[in-house]
């Protein structure tokens, strides 16, 4: 029970070979593997995001940390202590549920004080009021949850969890039910609160933008495994799998073969006739088949007939045909069909007057070698695109 | 300008509504009419007749049961003075049956609504089992209970064999049999409203309770129970009201020592043909139950939950 005393500044969380299988225990049929041999360390006091499409196992992972789901195998350690065998109410962990799960028969203050009262804190009410001030809802302390807006309920749910100063605070898609504007506002708010209270936050989300703006570290999950883990800029700058490249932002992925090396650069012959240089340390593989990737905003677009000012060292693809140009104010997105290489996307900042290219124009694409990254040659260049699109639809639908 | 404004004709709006709209205004009353008529004929009118009867007096030297209109309030005071022990017994049995039905019905409803939630088929079957007794008449079911509790029945001989009951004991014609019958007959009325409110209970609230350091027992006491209180209040009312006024169970399972007010009213009306006393007793019972229920609902303080 000493565990439940909680920590004042969060503790680190360590997941060791955590696995969860649903069903199939008796029938012997193929059980659904929700979380597959997951090993992960979240440092104390950090804002950690578990990012992935629905069904990737991120919520199951969170529920296993909370004690609401029992792992099939593996261990959960909080602050170095093995809590795998303890039950939810014995763990120094609190959750902000996606549905908020506020108690409808209690007022806001009683909701927030609930956890403190269970642990016999004498000053539960005062501490609860303080927590309500933190989320700027002190004036609504005697309302019932049903009388609050979605955003206010969300804050109450957050206060109810934060007030206990848990060693680890779990957030299960806490902003999923809010509209876009409120969501952006709450992202800033959440980040501020995390900095204020200094607790370890683990945030589960399918919104890559949310994960990138809020978290110190992001683990991209797919099919029960962590695809890649790192700081948001790191993941964006140097994805190590096609899934990460496509799910976290967009990428242009072109298959090719390593033909040689020039110093620290790998020479790659791209399918469709182009060639590219990829820094050796930015490539997963140094020989044989490889998938070369580059982010759309790093690609330059130029008319095929025009002067080639990309420089001798630049990677080149094309010529290709512009199949779509959509103007979005600060930038224009071009979709370019390059025979053999597929359909590439280019974000071009609108610096000059008028568009660089129009639909149907012949264009050449180029980018600096240091912006390339290399992925395993057997990867599907489309992995993760569908998932990102379905997430984008869900986010737009609010 | 002001004079001109005063001379201007009144705006034509809001003068007379078109015929169609006037018709629409009567629609709610038309919809209410059949129900109101029904209540008037079969509730208000009998109630007025009952009041009149309860205050009337026997025709001096008339036939048995003949009464004439009067304002004899003594009917009430005499009825109360003569029969107050039966009132006490009725309320006592009613309360006991309600508590027992709650103790049996709540776990039953909880098992069906919460535990069996993941298995809809089991849930449906259990619900059918709860409702199944209604396919048999109330009186028949109670008569069946007489067989179950009869001196030579399996239950009684088993209890005697186990020395739970002394050899010369019997279950029929005892208060125990009456309360057992009442409890049995009203369990569905208790279990179904509780089931309805537990079924609506969001399981994520229970997870939130566990997440906030409440163990299973505390979660039940602080989350499940308060949220199912509307069902408990509804169930206890649906059990207590008819159980207190019941006379079938006492008539079929009880003896002279376990008669309830309902049995007294029954015999006053149909055997002694003392209509004024029977009517006064009916009113007293109604007032007593209303008073107790009002007190209970106020104490339960569930207005904002209902």
pLDDT in tens, B179-198: 999 999 999 999 999 999 99
B208 neighbourhood in chain A, CB within 8 Å: 95, 97, 101-103
Higher pLDDT, residue B100 or B157: B100
**Per-residue model confidence (pLDDT) at position B187:** 95
- Which chain A residue shows the shortest CA-CA distance from B305? A105
Task: Please state, rounded to an integer, the average pLDDT across all residues of chain A.
Answer: 87
Q: Give the span between the Cα atoms of A47 and A195, in whole angstroms.
A: 9
**Per-residue model confidence (pLDDT) at position A6:** 41
| C-alpha closest to that of A333 among A306, A314, A370, A359 | A359
pLDDT band at A309 (very low <50, low <70, confident <90, very high): low
Q: Give the span between the Cα atoms of B224 and B130, in whole angstroms.
A: 22
Mutate to test the interface with A, among B213, B216, B220, B230 (most CBs of A within 10 A): B213
| C-alpha closest to that of B262 among B290, B289, B237 | B289
Mean pLDDT, range A236-264, rounded to an integer: 92
Q: Which residues of B touch A (CB under 8 A)?
A: 202, 204-205, 207-215, 218-219, 222-223, 226-227, 305
pLDDT band at A204 (very low <50, low <70, confident <90, very high): very high
**C-beta of residue A225 within 8 angstroms of C-beta of residue A243:** no
Count A/B contacts: CB-CB distance under 8 Å.
Answer: 63
Residue A48 reports pLDDT greater than 50: yes
When CB atoms are compared, the residue of A99, A104, A118 closest to B212 is A118
Q: Find the helix packing angle between B74-110 and B225-245, rounded to 10°.
A: 140
Chain length of chain A: 398
Residue A230 reports pLDDT greater than 80: yes
When CB atoms are compared, the residue of A90, A97, A164 closest to B208 is A97
Residue B301 reports pLDDT greater than 70: no
Sign for the CA dihedral angle at B110, B111, B117, B118 comes to: positive
Mean pLDDT, range A65-85, rounded to an integer: 94
When CB atoms are compared, the residue of A95, A105, A119 closest to B211 is A95
Q: What is the 3-state secondary structure (H, E, C) of chain A?
A: CHHHHCCCCCCCEEEEEEEEEECCCCCCCCCEEEEEEEEEEECCCCEEEEECCCCCCHHHHHHHHHCCCCCCEEEEEECCEECCCCCHHHCCEEEECCCCCCCCCCCHHHHHHHHHHHCCCCCHHHHHHHHHHHCCCHHHCCCCHHHCCHHHHHHHHHHHHHCCCCCEEEEECCCCCCCHHHHHHHHHHHHHHHHHHCCEEEEEECCHHHHHHHCCEEEEEECCEEEEEECHHHHHHCCCCHHHHHHCCCCEEEEEEEEEEECCEEEEEECCCCEEEEEHHHECCCCCEEEEEECHHHCEEEECCCCCCCCCCCEEEEEEEEEEEEECCCEEEEEEEECCCEEEEEEEECCCCCCCCCCCCEEEEEECHHHCEEEECCCCCCCCHHHHHHHHHHHHHC
Q: Give the span between the Cα atoms of A84 and A61, in whole angstroms.
A: 12
Question: Among A37-41, A230-234, A377-381, which is the least confidently predicted range?
Answer: A377-381
**C-beta of residue B139 within 8 angstroms of C-beta of residue B252:** yes
CA dihedral B167, B169, B171, B174 (to 10 degrees): 180
CA–CA min distance A218, chain B (Å): 24
Cβ-based neighbour number of residue A91 at 10 Å: 24
Over the stretch A181-195, which tens digit does the pLDDT of each residue have? 888 888 888 888 888
Mutate to test the interface with B, among A105, A142, A176 (most CBs of B within 10 A): A105
Residue B7, CA distances (Å) to A293, A349, B16 in order: 83, 69, 21
When CB atoms are compared, the residue of B213, B218, B223 closest to A103 is B223
Mean pLDDT, range A315-339, rounded to an integer: 88
**Per-residue model confidence (pLDDT) at position B59:** 85
**C-beta of residue A60 within 8 angstroms of C-beta of residue A35:** yes
Task: Judge: A89–B213 Cβ closer than 8 Å, yes or no.
Answer: yes
Residue B19 reports pLDDT greater than 60: no
ipTM for the predicted complex comes to 0.82
CATH 2.40.50.100 given to domain A238-397: yes
- Which chain B residue shows the shortest CA-CA distance from A3? B213
Q: Which residues of A touch B (CB under 8 A)?
A: 4, 66-68, 87-90, 93-95, 97, 99, 101-105, 114-115, 118-119, 160, 164
Over the stretch A104-150, which tens digit does the pLDDT of each residue have? 999 999 999 999 999 988 899 999 999 999 888 999 999 999 999 98
Question: Among A72-86, A160-174, A383-397, B135-149, which is the least confidently predicted range?
Answer: A383-397
A153 neighbourhood in chain B, CB within 8 Å: none
**C-beta of residue B236 within 8 angstroms of C-beta of residue B190:** yes
Residue A134, CA distances (Å) to A5, A297, B207 in order: 22, 39, 25
Mutate to test the interface with B, among A103, A127, A131, A156 (most CBs of B within 10 A): A103
Q: Give the span between the Cα atoms of A280 and A264, in whole angstroms.
A: 6
Tokens describing residue A395:
């986010």
SS3 state of residue B246:
coil
CA–CA min distance B195, chain A (Å): 18
Task: Judge: B208–A93 Cβ closer than 8 Å, yes or no.
Answer: no
Q: Give the span between the Cα atoms of A164 and B213, in whole angstroms.
A: 10
Q: What would be the CATH architecture of the domain defined by A2-234?
A: 3-Layer(aba) Sandwich (3.40)
CA–CA min distance B203, chain A (Å): 9
Q: Give the span between the Cα atoms of A159 and A140, in whole angstroms.
A: 13
Q: Where are the domains of chain B?
A: 84-300
Mean pLDDT, range A67-88, rounded to an integer: 93
**Per-residue model confidence (pLDDT) at position A394:** 63
**C-beta of residue A8 within 8 angstroms of C-beta of residue A165:** yes
- Which chain B residue shows the shortest CA-CA distance from A101? B205
Mean pLDDT, range A223-239, rounded to an integer: 93
Tokens describing residue B155:
């239950």
**C-beta of residue A146 within 8 angstroms of C-beta of residue A68:** no
Burial of A352 (0-12, 13-18, 19+ CB in 10 A): exposed
Alpha helices in chain B (DSSP H): 2-7, 19-39, 45-54, 74-110, 120-131, 138-149, 154-161, 175-199, 203-211, 216-219, 225-245, 248-253, 261-270, 275-300
Q: Give the span between the Cα atoms of A104 and A128, in whole angstroms.
A: 17
DSSP state of B10: P
**C-beta of residue B281 within 8 angstroms of C-beta of residue B53:** no
pLDDT band at B10 (very low <50, low <70, confident <90, very high): very low
Maximum Cα interatomic distance, chain A, rounded to a whole number of Å:
78
B211 neighbourhood in chain A, CB within 8 Å: 66-68, 88-89, 93-95, 97
SS3 state of residue B304:
coil
Q: Give the span between the Cα atoms of A273 and A251, in whole angstroms.
A: 20
- What is the CATH superfamily name and number for domain B84-300? MetI-like (1.10.3720.10)
Q: Where are the domains of chain A?
A: 2-234, 238-397
**C-beta of residue A108 within 8 angstroms of C-beta of residue A87:** no
**C-beta of residue A298 within 8 angstroms of C-beta of residue A362:** no
Burial of B15 (0-12, 13-18, 19+ CB in 10 A): exposed
**Per-residue model confidence (pLDDT) at position A178:** 80
Mutate to test the interface with B, among A22, A69, A118 (most CBs of B within 10 A): A118
pLDDT band at A308 (very low <50, low <70, confident <90, very high): low
A68 neighbourhood in chain B, CB within 8 Å: 207, 210-211
Tokens describing residue B278:
């029977």
When CB atoms are compared, the residue of A94, A99, A104 closest to B211 is A94
Cβ-based neighbour number of residue A321 at 10 Å: 17
């Amino acid at each position: 029970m000493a565990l439940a005393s909680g920590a004042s500044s969060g503790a680190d969380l360590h997941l060791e070979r955590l696995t969860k299988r649903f069903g199939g225990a008796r029938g012997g049929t193929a059980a659904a593997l929700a979380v597959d041999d997951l090993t992960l360390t979240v440092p104390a006091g950090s804002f950690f995001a578990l990012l992935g499409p629905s069904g990737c196992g991120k919520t199951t992972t969170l529920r296993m940390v909370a004690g609401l789901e029992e792992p099939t195998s593996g261990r959960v350690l909080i602050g170095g202590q093995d809590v795998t065998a303890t039950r939810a109410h014995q763990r120094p962990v609190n959750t902000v549920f996606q549905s908020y799960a506020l108690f409808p028969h209690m007022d806001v203050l009683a909701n927030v004080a609930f956890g403190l009262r269970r642990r016999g804190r004498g000053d539960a009410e005062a501490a609860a009021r303080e927590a309500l001030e933190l989320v700027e809802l002190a004036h609504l302390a005697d309302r019932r949850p049903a009388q609050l807006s979605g955003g206010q309920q969300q804050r109450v749910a957050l206060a109810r969890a934060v007030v206990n100063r848990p060693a680890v605070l779990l957030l299960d898609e806490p902003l999923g039910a809010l509209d876009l504007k409120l969501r952006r506002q709450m992202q800033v708010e959440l980040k501020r609160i995390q900095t204020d209270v200094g607790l370890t936050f683990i945030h589960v989300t399918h919104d890559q933008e949310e994960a990138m703006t809020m978290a110190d570290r992001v683990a991209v999950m797919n099919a029960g495994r962590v695809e890649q883990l790192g700081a948001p800029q790191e993941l964006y700058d140097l994805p190590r799998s096609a899934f990460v490249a496509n799910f976290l932002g967009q990428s242009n992925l072109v298959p090719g073969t390593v033909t040689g090396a020039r110093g620290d650069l790998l020479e790659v012959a791209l399918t469709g006739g182009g060639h590219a240089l990829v820094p050796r340390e930015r490539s997963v593989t140094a020989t044989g088949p490889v998938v070369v990737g580059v982010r759309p905003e790093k690609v330059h677009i130029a008319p095929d007939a025009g002067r080639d000012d990309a420089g001798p060292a630049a990677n080149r693809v094309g010529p290709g045909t512009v199949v779509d140009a959509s103007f979005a104010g600060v930038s224009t997105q071009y979709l370019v069909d390059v025979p053999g290489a597929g359909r590439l996307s280019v974000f071009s900042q609108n610096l000059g007057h008028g568009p660089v290219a129009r639909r149907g124009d012949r264009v050449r694409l180029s980018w600096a070698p240091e912006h390339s990254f290399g992925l395993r040659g057997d990867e599907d260049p489309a992995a993760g695109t569908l998932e990102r699109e379905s997430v984008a639809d869900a986010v737009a639908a609010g | 300008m002001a004079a001109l404004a005063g001379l201007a004709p009144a705006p034509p709006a809001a003068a007379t509504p078109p015929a169609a709209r006037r018709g629409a205004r009567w629609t709610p009353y038309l919809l209410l009419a059949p129900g109101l008529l029904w209540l008037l004929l079969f509730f208000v009118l009998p109630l007025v007749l009952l009041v009149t009867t309860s205050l009337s007096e026997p025709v001096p030297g008339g036939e048995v049961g003949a009464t004439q209109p009067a304002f004899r309030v003594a009917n009430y005071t005499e009825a109360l003075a003569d029969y107050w022990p039966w009132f006490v017994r009725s309320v006592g049995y009613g309360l006991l049956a309600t508590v027992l039905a709650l103790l049996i019905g709540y776990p039953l409803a909880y098992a069906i609504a919460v535990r069996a939630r993941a298995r809809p088929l089991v849930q449906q079957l259990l619900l059918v089992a709860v409702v199944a007794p209604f396919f048999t008449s109330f009186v028949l079911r109670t008569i069946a209970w007489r067989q179950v509790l009869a001196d030579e029945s399996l239950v009684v001989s088993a209890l005697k064999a186990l020395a739970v009951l002394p050899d010369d004991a019997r279950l029929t014609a005892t208060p125990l049999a009456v309360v057992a019958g009442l409890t049995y007959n009203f369990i569905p009325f208790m279990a179904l409203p509780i089931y309805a409110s537990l079924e609506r209970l969001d399981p994520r609230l229970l997870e939130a309770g566990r997440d906030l350091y409440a163990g299973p027992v505390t979660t039940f006491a602080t989350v499940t129970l308060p949220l199912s209180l509307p069902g408990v209040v509804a169930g206890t009312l649906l059990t207590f009201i008819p159980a207190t006024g019941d006379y079938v169970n006492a008539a079929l399972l009880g003896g002279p020592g376990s008669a309830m007010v309902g049995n007294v009213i029954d015999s006053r009306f149909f055997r002694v043909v003392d209509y004024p006393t029977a009517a006064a007793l009916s009113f007293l019972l109604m007032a007593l139950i209303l008073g107790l229920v009002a007190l209970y609902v106020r104490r339960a303080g569930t207005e904002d939950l209902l």
